[in-house]
Structure 1
Amino acid sequence: MKLKVAYKSIIGKIRPKNEDNASFFYDQSNNILAIVADGIGGNRAGEVASKMAVDGIGKRFTNQQIQTVKHASKWFQNQIDFENQEILAISMHDQHLKGMGTTFVGFINTGRNYVICNIGDSRGYLFRNTELTQLTEDHSYVNELLKAGKISKQAAATYPYKNVIVRSLGISSNAEPTISDGRILIGDQFLLCSDGLTDLVSESVIKLVLQSNRSIAEKCEKLTEMANQNGGSDNITVLIIETRADQGVDNHG
């Protein structure tokens, strides 16, 4: 099985800078870790927090040999705890970085299995057999209302506080991610993205782009372009992992 990865991150039309970060890394067993992080906190703080999460967790992954789903899940939990404390410590000692934080969504493959971890409202999706399934849970105020049955899914799409998140790295000493796992099938596509995409491009449109004949690099380009054309009100980051019937791992989209 061959995994291919591509990503694209743009500033959008409104924000003064890009506080999103994304990248991918390999461990000693040639498994892939892919990450998208969306910084929060104003000034340059959000940018610093998201970069810390991507670079710090990514660098530590390169020294690992992830063997099982259980190992990957535990490793993700440990990394979230560690990076949360790192961000909190730096924000407390640097006035310019006070209050910084970041969302996080990460993907690890262990052979033919995957583990996906998120905290905040950056999302992970699986596109399989023409169906798009959200694998992550939004840790947002509006999703809490939705789960409690206090608003409808239609109302949630335009709710005035839809971007208020209730969990992230850097908010409190207790960071609780959502972690799930499953099998990888040939032809699967995994999409990681910041809310700059999902706020402005519907899941039905995302699905159409994913099922097109474009390369995954072209799909990333197209999705970020569409979100920008639809207003570009936030930074926009898209990362796609594609599986093919082949040997080895490839990182060219």
Structure 2
Amino acid sequence: MRTAFQSNIGRQRSQNQDRVAKFTSEQGPQLAVVADGIGGNQRGDLAAEIAIKSLGRDFMSDAPSDENEASSWLSVQVQSINNQVLKKSKEKSSYRGMGTTLVAAVFFEESVVVANIGDSRGYIMHGDMLTQITIDHSLVNELVKNGDLTEQEAARSPQKNIITRAIGISPSANADVNRFPFKNGDQLLLCTDGLTNLVNKTQISQVLSSNKKLTKKCNQLIKMANKAGGPDNITVLISQQDQERL
């Protein structure tokens, strides 16, 4: 398993509230995680930092040993992080309202278990086919599912940044957790909406299907988002099964 990641402040923000990390346990499984802090002045960056550090610490001390254990572990972890963020938000008035999205993946020999809450996304590239494997917890996505908006209208909607689920928003944090095949040569992309709001699926697919090193692919995706205006922080993480080069 090879992984590369990059985070960029974008062209219009004064602070980067995204966080990204990869952890490898002594037992062998690996964890990749991306978080997008929300709340602006309410310290979304701190909420994202809590999420990354807590998940990484617990993974390194007691990593799940199989897919079933990873599924329940991720669900429990998201709720635990939610409790920590809510507790922290009561310490200072400037912390009130802070929260974060989260998308995390635990890798096994031929599979990956993915958890998400919010609108940060996961994709799997298998051969030349790119598939979004997470569902956005957002208002516009609910409207699309109900038939009130087309996907094209949703992409242009001024409400597209309103999320319906996140860590730190309510006492209950319900993450979606699913398992997917992850075979030799497959790529997993985890990213924040700073990428997907500006770089479409076809463009992402073209980058992932290239022969470039993973680090170059990350860099190219961020450059594309910034070229399109870069109104938000941009974070991308790419993992490839048995990739030989970084």
Q: Secondary structure at the match of 2:231?
A: coil
Residue 87 of structure 2 corresponds to residue 89 of structure 1: yes
**d(CA) in 2 for partners of 1:165 and 1:64?**
31
1:162 partner SS: coil
* Alpha-carbon distance in structure 2 between the residues aligned to 1:98 and 1:46: 10
Residue aligning to 1:211 = 209
RMSD over aligned Cα atoms: 1.2
Residue identity matched to 2:241 = T
Aligned pairs (5 A) from 1:143-162: 143-162=141-160
Q: Corresponding residue for 1:69? A: 67
Distance, in Å, in 2 between the alignment partners of 1:233 and 1:159 is: 15
Runs of 4+ in 1 over 3 A off after TM superposition: none
Equivalent residue, structure 2, for 1:52 = 50
From 34, 37, 40, the equivalent of 1:36 is 34
Is the 8 Å Cα contact of residues 42 and 96 (structure 2) preserved in structure 1? Answer: no
Amino acid at match of 2:31: L
1:28 to partner: Cα distance: 2.7
Contact 1:66–1:110 (8 Å) recurs in 2: no
* TM superposition shift of 1:44: 5.9
The structural deviation recorded for 1:245 is: 7.2
CA contact (8 A) 1:38 1:104 kept: yes
Please identify, of 190-199 and 61-70, the stretch whose mean Cα deviation from structure 2 is larger.
Answer: 61-70
| Kept after mapping to 1: 8 A contact 2:42/2:97 | no
Look up the SS of the partner of 2:73 in the other structure.
helix
1:201 corresponds to which residue?
Answer: 199
Structure 1 runs not aligned, ≥5 long: 247-251
Deviations 1:56-113 (A, max 9, x none): 1111100124221110000000100100000001101211111000000001012222
Cα distance per residue 1:133-164 (max 9 Å; x no partner): 00101000000111111111111110110110
Aligned equivalent of 2:132, options 134, 138, 153? 134
Name the SS of the counterpart of 2:144 in structure 1. Answer: helix
Report if aligned partners of 1:27, 1:66 keep a CA contact under 8 Å in 2.
no
Q: Secondary structure in 2 aligned to 1:144?
A: helix
Partner of 1:167: 165
Percentage of pairs with the same residue: 41
Q: Does 1:239 align with 2:237?
A: yes
Distance 2:113 2:13 in 1: 32
Q: What is the TM-score when the length of structure 1 is the normalising length? A: 0.95
1:22 matches 2:20: yes
Number of residue-to-residue matches in the alignment: 246
Matched residue SS, 2:40? coil
